[in-house]
Amino acid sequence: MPAGFPPITGRTALTLLLGDPVVQARSPELVNAELERRGLEARLMPLRVAADDLATVAAALRVTDTFRGAVVTMPHKHAVVPLLTTAGERVARTAACNVIRREEDGSLTGDMLDGEAMVRAIQDAGGTVKDARVLLVGAGGAASGIALALADHGVAELDITNRTAARADALADRVAAAVPGVRVTAVTAPGDGYALVVNASAVGMRPEDGPPVAPGVLTGAEVVADAVIAPRPTALLAAAAAAGCATVDGGRMLAAQVGLMVDFMFAGDMTPST
- Choice among 43, 77, 153, 174 that is catalytic: 77
CA dist., res. 221 & res. 134, Å (int) = 9
Helices within 67-222 (DSSP H only): 89-94, 114-124, 141-152, 165-178
Q: Which helix (H) or strand (E) holds 185?
A: strand 183-186
Query: Is 77 an active-site residue?
Result: yes
What is the CB-side half-sphere exposure of residue 220 using CA atoms within 13 A?
10
CA dist., res. 273 & res. 33, Å (int) = 15
Q: Which helix (H) or strand (E) holds 262?
A: helix 250-266
Number of other CB atoms surrounding residue 216 within 10 Å: 10
CA dist., res. 8 & res. 44, Å (int) = 12
Q: Are 155 and 130 in contact (CB under 8 A)?
A: yes
Which residues are marked as active site?
A: 77
